[in-house]
Amino acid sequence: MSLLTVEGLGKSYTADKQILKNINFEIKAGEFVSIIGPSGAGKSTMLRCINRMVEFNEGNILFNQQDVGSLNKKGLRKLRTNIGMVFQHYNLVPRLTVIENVLHGRFGYKTTFQGLLGRYTEEEKERAFYLLEKLGIHEHAYKRCDQLSGGQQQRVGICRALIQEPKLVLCDEPIASLDPNSSKIIMDHLKSISTEMGITCLVNLHQVEVAQHYSDRIIGLNNGEIVFNGTAYELTQEKINHIYGTKTKDLIIA
Amino acid sequence: MEATYIKRKKDGRIHIMSGNKGDIVLKWTIIILAILTVVAFLFFNYAGLELGSAIRETAYNLKVMFLEPTLNHFDLGEAFYQIGITLGLAFLATIIGAVIAFFLSLMTAANLAPVWVSRTVRVFVAIIRAVPTVLWVLIFAIAAGLGSEAAILGMLFHSIAYLVKAFSEAFEEVDKGIFEALRSTGANWWHIVKSGVLPSTFTYLLSWTFLRFEINFGVAVAMGAAAGAGGIGFELFMASSFYFDLREVGFITYSILIIAFLLEVISTRLKKRYFPATTTK
Ligand SMILES: Nc1ncnc2c1ncn2[C@@H]1O[C@H](COP(=O)(O)OP(=O)(O)OP(=O)(O)O)[C@@H](O)[C@H]1O
Ligand SMILES: [Mg+2]
């Protein structure tokens, strides 16, 4: 069953430049899919079209049999509760504690009043601690987020996405600011989210090897077009060159 | 081979400033002001001025004022009470102003409000700020009559304008990513303000408000005299213009100085703590 269907998606910020051109793909529930491609290819833009953080111009996006493009404000909030998001720069509120930041993930379910008073149910708090423990950062629950390392902050970001009880998690370069060790921890957690919790993951990545190692499927984007869509085994060196428009080996040597 | 985008002076040395018009205008403004200042002294009317006795008498007055301060027309308790009134005037104007300014600046910050709302409020606030506080007090005096009401309203008005600018700039500094992350969880505007914007800017808002309180204290002293708002400023006015009691003027000046000094110390501490990078002023 496909969770997400993208048909003929097109996006341009300015009239003179088309950022995304006729994008078509499908993602099944529980899949772990990576999107790779050179800088400026439109990876971040494509990801943000899915939860309408960016408004797209053409095409259709169906999420869970729901037409994303035609949702009103209320429907959009509802949609976003079902889609978690993880960012390169974590995007936590640095002066608040870890647990507060995690609970921000519940805002989509709250009225304005409940949100203003910071009212969370006991179950929500229990769930927050459960997730923190699962990601191994429960001992930092009452620390301010700016006292945490990058890897720890990213795990808080993942908890914030998971407490939404999402069907899909969008990750925009979740490991681009991390060292190899923390990167591995984060990617392992993301992978286990999809295998254990059955949550679909769509991850923008810059590291081809990482994408090959973790993904069920890889989508290659170049200049706003999908130029590859297949498994890690199908992603040959030739295909990689095609996605990046150069030889990656040359890049490393140069 | 010479890259054309390196800017050089006539003698071939390389410019490091972009050499825009603003710098040139600033330079000439300073030069012209300096010349005007010197010229002005040449044109003063010096008739009837005996510099020697003028300096001597001023020195004597200052000596009486500052070396022999006493209270003649009211006692120490009354002095504290009057200082309290002045602080109260400043406090009221600042607190009410800060609350109103908070909501107005939510409508002014470019990342929180639609462009047209933000522009409209910005223009209004700029106009209010362009008129000095004293003038606002006098304008309100037309409606409310001279007194503490007019003083508070006038100070309030100007405080709002000042704080809206400061607050909205603080709001605009909030990391875009925080907005993005909260919006992506399905949070609405109020949620974002409460959980993203407020925690990130609260200490700034607090120290700006305190800085304004410090300014308002000074203004409240002046208003006590000018607008008859009462407080220590009014006593100062009575002592100097009504009783011609230099000793009392001295005493009052000292007490204002002490309060102002205390406020300054606190605000410097606040600034050091919360704006370590920008210790200007
Ligand atoms: N808000 C915006 N307004 C105008 N143009 C934009 C905006 N955001 C992105 N772009 C443009 O869209 C193109 C694609 O940007 P995008 O961020 O989606 O690329 P990316 O593949 O994520 O790149 P990177 O790997 O560097 O993150 C770029 O050319 C960029 O300049
Ligand atoms: Mg990107």
Classify residue A226 as left (phi > 0), alpha (psi -120 to 50) or beta: beta
A232 and A182 in a common domain: yes
CATH code assigned to B70-274 = 1.10.3720.10
Extract the tokens encoding A91. 């995007």
Nearest CA to ligand 1 atom 29: A40
Domain final residue, candidates A109, A137, A165: A165
Contact B185 A85 (CB under 8 A): yes
Cα angle at A118 between A112 and A119, to 5 degrees? 90
**Cα gap B83→B233, rounded to integer Å:** 8
Which of A140, A165, A190 terminates a domain? The answer is A165
CATH number, domain containing residue A33: 3.40.50.300
The answer to whether B198 faces chain A, any CB pair under 8 Å, is: no
Return d(Cα B159, Cα B129) in angstroms, integer. 9
Give the C-alpha separation, B196 to B198, whole Å: 6
Res B30: pLDDT: 94
Look at residue B279 and tell me whether its pLDDT is greater than 50.
no
**SS3 (DSSP) at A136:** coil
Only one residue has tokens 């009221």, namely B92
Residue type, B163: L
Q: Which position has the higher pLDDT, A170 or B254?
A: A170
Q: Are residues A217 and A200 in the same domain?
A: yes
Residues A71, A185, single domain; the answer is yes
Predicted pLDDT of residue B253 = 87
Please tell me if residue A30 touches chain B, with a CB cutoff of 8 Å: no
> What pTM, to 2 d.p., does this model score?
0.83
What's chain B's length in residues? 281
Say if A116 is an interface residue toward chain B (CB within 8 Å): yes
> Which helix (H) or strand (E) covers residue B281, if one does?
none
Running DSSP on this structure, what letter comes out for residue B227?
S
Contacts 24+ apart (CB under 8 A), B260-266: B260/B214, B260/B217, B260/B218, B263/B213, B263/B214, B263/B217, B264/B214, B266/B210
CA of A44 to the centre of ligand 2 (A): 4
Q: Which of A11, A14, A17, A19 to mutate to test the pocket of ligand 1 (most atoms within 8 A of CB)?
A: A19
User: How many angstroms separate the CA atoms of A69 and A131, rounded?
Assistant: 32
- Give the distance (Å) from ligand 1 centre to CA of residue A40: 5
pLDDT number for residue B277: 53
Q: Helix, strand, or coil here: A217?
A: strand
Q: How confident is the model at residue B4 (pLDDT cuts 50, 70, 90)?
A: low
Contact A127, A184 (CB under 8 A): no
Looking at the structure, do residues A175 and A248 belong to the same domain, yes or no?
yes
From first to last of its 254 residues, chain A has per-residue pLDDT tens of 789 999 999 999 999 999 999 999 999 999 999 999 999 999 999 999 999 999 999 999 999 999 999 999 999 999 999 999 999 999 999 999 999 999 999 999 999 999 999 889 999 999 999 999 999 999 999 999 999 999 999 999 999 999 999 999 999 999 999 999 999 999 999 999 999 999 999 999 999 999 999 999 999 999 999 999 999 999 999 999 999 986 545 555 54
Burial of B147 (0-12, 13-18, 19+ CB in 10 A): middle
**Those residues with Cβ within 8 angstroms of residue B143's Cβ, 6 or more apart along the chain or in another chain:** B150
Cα separation, A149 vs A181, in Å, equals 12
> Residue range B142-152: average pLDDT?
83
Please tell me the predicted confidence (pLDDT) of residue B3: 56
* Cα–Cα distance, B120 to B196 (Å, whole number): 25
Same domain, A210 and A243: yes
Candidate from B180, B183, B199 with C-beta closest to A96 = B199
For residue B79, what pLDDT band results from cuts at 50, 70 and 90? confident
Q: How far is CA A240 from CA A184, A219, A236, in A?
A: 22, 11, 6
pLDDT value, residue A254: 46
What angle in degrees, to the nearest 10, is found between the helix axes of B198-226 and B246-274?
170
Tokens of B226: 């000018």
The answer to whether residue A88 is domain-embedded is no
* Secondary structure of residue A211 in the 3-state scheme: helix
A27: left (phi over 0), alpha (psi -120 to 50) or beta: beta
Give strand pairing partners of A170. A85, A202
Distance between CA A194 and CA A169 in Å, rounded? 9
Domain extents in chain B:
70-274
Q: Residue A143's domain spans which residues?
A: 93-165
Give me the mean pLDDT over the B68-87 stretch. 85
* pLDDT at residue A247 in the model: 55
In a domain, A28, yes or no: yes
The yes-or-no verdict on residue B281 having pLDDT over 50 is no
Instruction: Supply the residue whose CA is at minimum distance from atom 28 of ligand 1.
Output: A40
Would residue A222 count as lying in a domain?
Answer: yes
Q: Does one domain contain both A244 and A223?
A: yes
Q: Which atom of ligand 1 is nearest to the CA of A204?
A: 22
Tell how strand A200-204 and strand A168-172 pair up. Answer: parallel
B186 vs A: CB within 8 A: yes
Q: Is residue A129 domain-shared with residue A249, that is, in the same domain?
A: no
Question: Is pLDDT of B217 > 80?
Answer: yes
- Same-domain check for residues A171 and A245: yes
Residue A87 lies in a domain: no
Q: How far is A86 from chain B (nearest CA, A)?
A: 8
Q: Same structural domain for residues A71 and A180?
A: yes
In contact, B148 and B229? CB cutoff 8 Å: yes
Angle between helices B148-172 and B133-144 (to 10 degrees): 130
**Ligand 1 neighbour A19 (Cβ under 6 A):** yes
**How many other C-beta atoms are found inside a 10 Å radius of the C-beta of residue A41?**
24
Q: Write the DSSP assignment of A18-74 as a string of letters.
A: -SEEEEEEEEETT-EEEEE--TTSSHHHHHHHHTTSS--SEEEEEETTEEGGG--HH
Q: How many domains does chain A have?
A: 2
Contacts with A96 (C-beta within 8 Å, 6 or more apart), sequence order: A144, A145, B195, B199
The reply to whether A206 and A234 lie within a common domain is: yes
Residues of B in contact with A78 (CB under 8 A): 186
With respect to residue A63, please indicate whether it lies within any of the assigned structural domains.
yes
CA distance B118 to B116: 5
Write down the pLDDT at residue B7: 73
Question: Of A145, A165, A185, which marks where a domain is finished?
Answer: A165
Which atom from ligand 1 is nearest to the alpha carbon of A54? 1
Q: Name the range with the highest mean pLDDT among B10-14, B95-99, B212-216, B262-266.
A: B95-99
Q: What local confidence, expressed as pLDDT, does residue B142 receive?
A: 85
Mean pLDDT computed over every residue of chain B: 86
